[in-house]
Structure 1
Amino acid sequence: MPTPQQLKDAFKRKYKKEVTLEPEQRVPVFMDVFDEFVKDCGMQNNWRDATYEKFATIKKYLQGFDSELTLDALDETRLNDYVNYLHDTKNLRNSTTGKQIDFLKWFLRWSKRKGYPTNPAFDTFKPKLKTTRKKVIFLTMEELNRLREYPIPARKKYLERVRDVFLFCCFTGLRYSDVFNLKRSDVKAGHIEVTTLKTADSLLIELNNHSKAILDKYKDIPFERDKTLPVIRNQRMNTYLKELGELCGIDEPVGETYYKGGERIDVVTPKYALLGSHVGRRTFICNALSLGIPAQVVMKWTGHSDYTAMKPYIDIADDIKAGAMDKFNRL
């Protein structure tokens, strides 16, 4: 609850009148506290660059919403105003808005623990955001083989290395960040040993003929920092994968439904336009499960710690197997 003096000062600031506060009267500057939170949590949790960039975006949204925001001003009404700002002004999907609110609540919990005058409304704030489960994009066995066997034209040879790296993810389940950091010393006889960048899991992943062939192709080619494969920056790789997918005719229409505020939006996109490096990992999981490899074995390779994260993939594998059984009916 703001003191009468704080209310008076806020009123004066709003109407551009100068006010000089005594040190004990000063209200903590929201963005200064936010910067402290990022520095503190970043060091404690060993944030990667991508996480710092994520919170830089959050800060930018908050500044755009109210450049004079204070911690004690975020009551339920103001929090709802922020939700509306995210989907009306920033044009975010409900699923993204929900994540933004979760990150904001993380910051507010931290500020409360640190003793800053934080409005307690965030503790019970749960905006009603209609969402749908995000569709898992992966390549079927037929699409994977089509991409693997496609003869890349001479004028598009730059796509060859991109394809090899992507296929390595499809046949090992590695994330982009881990294949980017894969060193020759991580490659052992018949397997690779990786400590994942995202979760710090220590994984031992056996090599199959496909992943081994890709490693053999580049074993005598030196790369910087003793890397194993010619991995380019993720953004460029994702652009090239879309180009490669289009060339290969991976153009199955993919329907998606999402919400912005109360508006339902249905879109249909060719699959190649949805390709990115992480599709490789999803392709590995879905196809491994559909081949009948037990989920607990796949989890050992991917580093998943519980079945909750695996359930969407298991559901897809069950659908694939049901469709495969139907083929007997055509005999």
Structure 2
Amino acid sequence: YMYRQKKCHDNYTGQNIKMIRTFFNWINDSCGIATGPHHKNFYIQKEEIAIITLTVEQLRFLMFDNDFEAKLSRPLKHAKDVFVLGCMVGLRFSDLCKIKKENIELRDSGHYLKMRSQKTGTDTLVKLPAPAMDILERYKKNKGTLLPVVSLFRFNKNIKKLAELAGWTYPLPRLRTRKGIKSQSQHNTLTPTRFCDALSSHTMRRTSITTMLTSGMPEYVVRKISGHTSDSKAFFRYVSLAQSLMDKEIEKMHVHFEERALVHTA
């Protein structure tokens, strides 16, 4: 029904099948209503959605291009500050909104951000780079939370506009799977998805984790900062992405070796 009539993709269909299985488990185990084990045969189909992250060059542009910042409205400047900070420290939007002055600790080697994740309850202690402290200093006079707080809907809308003004409007492929078969998404084909339209609050955390991994930071350190467990399937998606990026850079080095070999042979 969901595939043929509703034309749903694997992730949405799988979420509904998962809820149906949970419901049947509940009425069997908790309510004592015997319905049989048929629901355990329901297969939950999944698809891997491409991880959207900013490149280091894009992040540097937001951090240091003063001419671009001068053109932004006040709400967009606030969105840029929160977005850049999130890309540097890897916190979720809900945690960024809770940062207070007492969360900033001064130690011998610099400033640290100490937070407890609202979602997982895990504690993180992250050393803040100078650009992050510059952002927090702009809002040090704020009472309560340091950063300018807006709704998640408004924040996502602002960072999409921010990326559009930055010129990141190149199209992205919309490949989705239905019954495990990849196909071009038929949704809104007249106006293909642009990179700027694909950005959201999740991009901050994904950019931070990917940047840490590609810079050579050990996986266990990144997991400690991000709050992922050692067997987290979501985390290994970042590892795979980071490895593919590093492979491309290594391949560039291999080209230099091949060019030198040709010159030496000649």
TM range (shorter): 0.7 to 0.9
TM-score (norm 2): 0.82
CA RMSD of aligned residues (A): 2.4
Tell me if structure 1 keeps the 8 A contact 2:21–2:40. no
Secondary structure in 2 matching 1:270: coil
Unmatched 5+ stretches in structure 1: 1-83
Query: Quick check: which one's helix share is greater?
Result: 1
1:166 matched residue in structure 2: 83
1:214 aligns with 2:135: yes
Q: CA deviation at 1:118?
A: 4.9
Which of 172, 180, 192 is the equivalent residue of 2:97?
Answer: 180
1:135 matched residue in structure 2: 50
1: distance between equivalents of 2:204 and 2:179? 32
Unmatched 5+ stretches in structure 2: 186-191, 260-266
Q: CA deviation at 1:264?
A: 4.7
2:262 matched residue in structure 1: none
Secondary structure in 2 matching 1:255: coil
Tell me if structure 1 keeps the 8 A contact 2:103–2:115. yes
Q: CA deviation at 1:116?
A: 4.3
Of residues 196-205 and 151-160 in structure 1, the stretch that sits farther from structure 2 once superposed is 151-160
2:237 matched residue in structure 1: 312
1:324 aligns with 2:239: no
2:115 matched residue in structure 1: 194
Code of the aligned partner of 1:273:
D
Tell me if structure 2 keeps the 8 A contact 1:135–1:256. no
Code of the aligned partner of 1:221:
N
- Identity among equivalent positions (%) equals 26
Tell me if structure 1 keeps the 8 A contact 2:213–2:242. yes
2:201 matched residue in structure 1: 277
Tell me if structure 2 keeps the 8 A contact 1:251–1:270. yes
2:188 matched residue in structure 1: none
The 1:198–1:89 alpha-carbon spacing in structure 2 relative to 1, beyond 3 Å, is farther
Q: CA deviation at 1:207?
A: 1.2
TM-score (norm 1): 0.67
1:95 matched residue in structure 2: 11
Of residues 264-273 and 204-213 in structure 1, the stretch that sits farther from structure 2 once superposed is 264-273
Number of aligned pairs? Answer: 243
Tell me if structure 2 keeps the 8 A contact 1:195–1:203. yes
1: distance between equivalents of 2:32 and 2:98? 40
Q: Which has the larger radius of gyration?
A: 1
Tell me if structure 2 keeps the 8 A contact 1:186–1:192. yes
2:166 matched residue in structure 1: 248
Secondary structure in 1 matching 2:69: coil
